[in-house]
Amino acid sequence: MDAEAVIEIRGLTNRFGTTVVHEDLSLDVMRGEVLGVVGASGSGKSVLLRSIVGLQTPSAGQITMLGTDVLGASAADRAAASARTGVMFQDGALFSALTVRENVEAPMRERLAVDAPTRAALADLRISMVGLPPEAGDLYPAELSGGMRKRAGLARALSLDPEILFLDEPTAGLDPIGASAFDALLNSLGEALGLTVFLVTHDLDTLQATCDRIAVLAQRRVLVTGTMAEMREVDDPWVQSYFHGPRAHAALGQEAV
């Protein structure tokens, strides 16, 4: 049986004044896959993510997520689809005045009709799932290391048991050990929870360690999609440079030639 597309994008255009970031962009994201989205600076990786989750209104095109027309549906239907997703922005984007537990509870306050003790217990479960110690729930973001903030942001993204997880540069700013640990965590959670993951990254190690497919943004559209191995066969100067450079060889455990 063919895989199911849980996100379908057709003819997407994003324009900011005279600057066109995307033009006639199309992409499918399949259920259960980890899709890595890469591209040069300014190619619109984060803009694409924000368009899918409803934070950016495109100039043209269609986005269907979990069967819902993101751009044309009613506010109630969009909210229902959004409740089935989780988003982790760069550096976690936590509320500084709230503890980690309160941050994780925040989506529950909006969406779930549960009492405070139940909400706190659910938040503590998410905190444990991402590998943070129990005492982290009482800490504020400023008291966390960079790696802990990433994990706390991931815990909040998982707050509502999402089907689709959106991650924007989740390993940016982490040292290699911390980034590798986050990659391993993402793999284990994805397998355990059956997540579909839309992952914006520039980290070749993360692409190699976590992604089933890669989508390259270039020339205002999705230039090509495929596996890490398939990317190395693409006849495009940027793709060749990105996937055949010294860092790519290191990520693949190969010697540069």
pLDDT tens digits, one per residue of 76-123:
999 999 999 999 987 668 999 999 999 999 999 988 889 999 999 999
Number of residues that make up the chain: 257
Query: Residue 255: what pLDDT?
Result: 45
Mean pLDDT of 38-42: 92
pLDDT tens digits, one per residue of 149-174:
999 999 999 999 999 999 999 999 89
Residue 19 backbone dihedrals phi, psi, to 5 degrees: -90, 120
Query: Residue 96: what pLDDT?
Result: 93
Query: Residue 3: what pLDDT?
Result: 79
Other CB atoms closer than 10 Å to residue 110's CB: what's the count?
11
User: How far is it, in rounded angstroms, from Cα 13 to Cα 48?
Assistant: 10
DSSP label at residue 55: S
pLDDT tens digits, one per residue of 189-230:
999 999 999 999 999 999 999 999 999 999 999 999 999 999
Query: Residue 244: what pLDDT?
Result: 82
Residue 108 identity: M
Q: Answer yes or no: is pLDDT of 126 > 50.
A: yes
Mean pLDDT of 57-72: 95
Query: Residue 251: what pLDDT?
Result: 55
pTM higher than the cut 0.95:
no
pLDDT tens digits, one per residue of 5-27:
999 999 999 999 999 999 999 99
Is 58 in contact with 14 (CB distance < 8 Å)?
A: yes
Q: Answer yes or no: is pLDDT of 2 > 90.
A: no
Residue 249 identity: H
Output the six-digit token pair for 249: 């060889």
User: How far is it, in rounded angstroms, from Cα 123 to Cα 154?
Assistant: 12
In terms of pLDDT, which residue wins out, 254 or 77? Answer: 77
Angle at 230 between CA 174 and CA 245, to 5 degrees: 50
* DSSP labels, 6-44: EEEEEEEEEEETTEEEEEEEEEEEETT-EEEEEESTTS-
Exposed, middle or buried, 177 (CB in 10 Å: 0-12/13-18/19+)? exposed
Residue 226 identity: G
DSSP label at residue 92: G
Least confident of 1-5, 127-131, 143-147: 1-5
User: How far is it, in rounded angstroms, from Cα 10 to Cα 2?
Assistant: 20
User: How far is it, in rounded angstroms, from Cα 197 to Cα 150?
Assistant: 16
Residue 31 identity: R
Q: Where are the domains of the chain?
A: 95-161
**Structural element, H or E, at residue 11:** strand 5-16
Query: Residue 254: what pLDDT?
Result: 52
